[in-house]
Amino acid sequence: MRRSRLIYLLGILALPGITLGWWSKVPRSSAQNGPQTAKRTPPPAPTFYLVIHTLCDYKEIEVRGASNLPSGAIIVLQLADFNNDGWTEYGEQVHATLGEDGYFTAKIPLKQDPALPHNLIIVAEFRPIFYPNRHQPAKVLKVVGNHGENLDDLHNPQASGFSGFNTMLSTIARAPCGPK
């Protein structure tokens, strides 16, 4: 009980400083110039990005994507479905290579299995190391770093850590392609 009261009191004491700090940055209106509006600057864009789009066919899923990663980067694609806090993977991984124009395409075979869910997702990942002994091309690692350390320069929302101090980019896209 005492601890919660202490936290409450500290919050009340800290609130005016936070509020005044924010309020002092809002421009004031003046009678002679009319009201002014606060100028907002957009948050910085991620250093690198990865986007995908899916097209469904009854035999396969075509994945199209774009990225500003270096050309030659290998994007790993996996068919999956949500499963609690993670996902269940279906089929083998497919690799797509990023072209000079910043685009990639790949086709993922679709099993005609009645147990396959209809509402699937495609998981797209860029990892500096994507198999235990398989790395991205040297020219790609030169830009992103051997462990992907340059992928998160601006707190990229697509970047996350894996296997120690390695960083990867990942995104998902809906693929409503499985049997109904």
Cα torsion through 121, 124, 125, 130, rounded to 10: 90
Give residue 102's pLDDT. Answer: 93
Interval 87-145: pLDDT, tens: 788 878 899 999 999 999 999 887 777 677 778 889 999 999 877 778 899 999 999 99
| 104 within a domain of the structure (yes/no) | yes
| 162 within a domain of the structure (yes/no) | yes
Give residue 14's pLDDT. Answer: 45
pLDDT at residue 153 above 70?
no
| 129 within a domain of the structure (yes/no) | yes
| 112 within a domain of the structure (yes/no) | yes
Interval 4-46: pLDDT, tens: 444 444 444 444 444 344 334 434 444 445 555 666 665 556 6
Give residue 3's pLDDT. Answer: 47
Q: In terms of Cα–Cα distance, which of 19, 26, 56, 61 is closest to 40?
A: 26
CB 92 within 8 A of CB 152: no
* Domain housing 55: 50-175
How many domains would you assign to the chain?
1
What's 117's domain CATH number?
A: 2.60.40
